[in-house]
Every structure is written in structure tokens, then in C-alpha cells.
Amino acid sequence: MEKADILSNGNGSAKNKNLQKETDIAQLQKEISLLTSYTADTVYRLYYQTMKYDYISPNVQRLLGFTAEEMQDINFRSLILETRIVTNGMQTVSSFDELEKMRKEGDVHKWQADYLMRAKDGRKLWVSDVSQPWFDKTGQVIGSVGSLRDITDRVIIEERMRQEIDRFSNIDALTGVANRREFFTALDRELKRITRSEEDVSMLLVDIDHFRKINEVYGKDIGDRVLIEITKVIASCLRDTDMVSRIGGEEFGVLLPDTSIQGAFWVAERIRSSVLKTELLIGTDKTPIGCSVSVGISSAASLEDKLSSDMFKEADTRLYIAKNTGRNQVSVDEIMHTH
């Protein structure tokens, strides 16, 4: 064989190898596209220098409405409205530049985050992103390889569950009204609201007289029924903007926004007289039980420092006076002569 033929065969062999390599790559890409089309996840490879996709599977169109070709020309970050880093305790962050810097330096490996994203048609959806670093031949992190999944339904359910948990954590389990923590949260909120105005806010502490005796004579179950019924009577005497809460035991707090101490006195009197008139039919034999309450009042206008702790202390002191000077009465120093 002549030398020219050998060289020709050598070049042809090299061309064949390159052609085979290109064919193999094309076949591999085709297989990858086929595999990723069978999963609900969108698989991608993101290049950090441009923050654009080197590869993203076609089913991204089902996720975000953009075609794979469109996504390769979009800066992914521009679609993100909110970021929660799962690997950082679901912390919401306004910017993840520092986290990306740490990842590029190799300090962060597995990346898991939830994004609130804007789709092509303007709708918002939550997307889970789970990825690993993408290294170049020298071992430097140049991007990430991962998958995106629509988790909007899960996030909505979790948010509803959180709201329910928060709601129940602020409610007294027996009576169904606000508990002590919620009462003082609301009182602090009202005090903050009136700081720069001339409005007033008042509070009542209502305590059932001789409640321990009711428990001793009729039992705790009947005592619980009494608490529930008294709660209903108190609530019936209030406006929609007022709040009744069970502070603890047989003691209730009543928050009265936009109410002076004079107005609070008449609300307290209405509660006291309504409870006294109510005959509670308790138990299977409908045993009638009569109750009375004592009430202490406090108003923000009478305090130099508008603090909920000071209001509670003042109302509690007046409740103590009411209970120790005969019970079944309302105690408020400034207008004691009207009682």
C-alpha cells in the first residue's frame, strides 16, 4: 500500500471516530430527553457565569410555560419572587448572593430550596429545587445540576395547617375564646394603635365568685360547663369589636377598644347583672346553678405609661377589691360613686 493511501485511511479513520462520537452524543441527548419526559420533574444544568441553563428538559413548558429553548435565554433568577432555603431551616431570604458565593467556593454541596416563581402567563407557583454542584475538569464549581418540581398544592396545604395550628394555639380549648397569650397580644396591639391619638382602650377582669365551691359540690365536669356558659353570657354583652378571653381558671379578660373607663363600667355592669340573672341548668337532671361575678376595670387613659402589664395590674387590684368587699360588684376607683 502506498504512503498516500495510508495517510488517507488514517484521516478517514479519524473522521469516522469523530462522526461516531457526534452520533453517540446526539443519541445520548435523545435518550436523556426521552427519560426526562417521563418524569414530572424538570431536569436542568445551570451555568453560574450567565445564570442561564446549559440544558433543561422540555417538560419545563408544563411547569413554567416557557419552552426549553426560551428558558436557555432567560436569567432564571428573574423569575423568582421569593426564596426559602430548605437546607437553612426554611428561612426566607431576600437575596441568596452569599449562599451562591459559598457554593461556588465549595462550602455548600447539596442545594435544596423552594421558590415562589412567576410563570410565562403571569401565574405564581411554588417550585422545589434540588441540585448538586457542577464541576469542571479542574474541580471548580461552575454551575449546578438538579431538578425542579411544582409543589404549589403542598405549600398551600402546609400554610393552611400552619394557620390552623396558630389559631388553635391562641384559643382556649375549653371555652373556644381567645387564651391569655392572644389577649395580651391584642391588648399590646391596641395600646400601640392609640399611642399617637386621643383614643382610649379599657379592659375588664371578670372572675366567677365561689367557683371553687361549684367544683367541690358538683364536680369538675359541671364546673367546666359553668365556665362555658358564663363565657357565652359575657360574649353576649359585647360588641363585635370587643374581645373576651379566658385568662386562666375562672378568670376572664375583656378588651374594649375605643372605650373610656366610664363606658367600660357600664359594660362591666351589664355583664355582672346578666350573669346574676342567668340560671344555668347543668347536668342530666338540669340542676339550676346561680352564679355571680366580680369585675375589675382599667383604662389606658389613667396610666402614664401605656403598658399592658400596668393595665392588667390595675384591673387585677380592683378585682381583688371587688372580691374582698362583698363580691358580685364592679370596682373602679374613679367612678365608684356611680355604683
Task: Write down the catalytic residue from 229, 250, 251, 314.
Answer: 250
- Measured distance CA(31)–CA(10) in Å, rounded: 31
Residue 119 buriedness (CB in 10 A; 0-12 / 13-18 / 19+): middle
Active site residue 2: no
Q: Report the phi/psi class of residue 49: left, alpha or beta, with left for phi > 0 and alpha for psi in -120 to 50.
A: alpha
**Is there a contact between 212 and 226 (Cβ–Cβ < 8 Å)?**
no
Residue 307 buriedness (CB in 10 A; 0-12 / 13-18 / 19+): middle
- Measured distance CA(88)–CA(85) in Å, rounded: 5
Active site members:
250
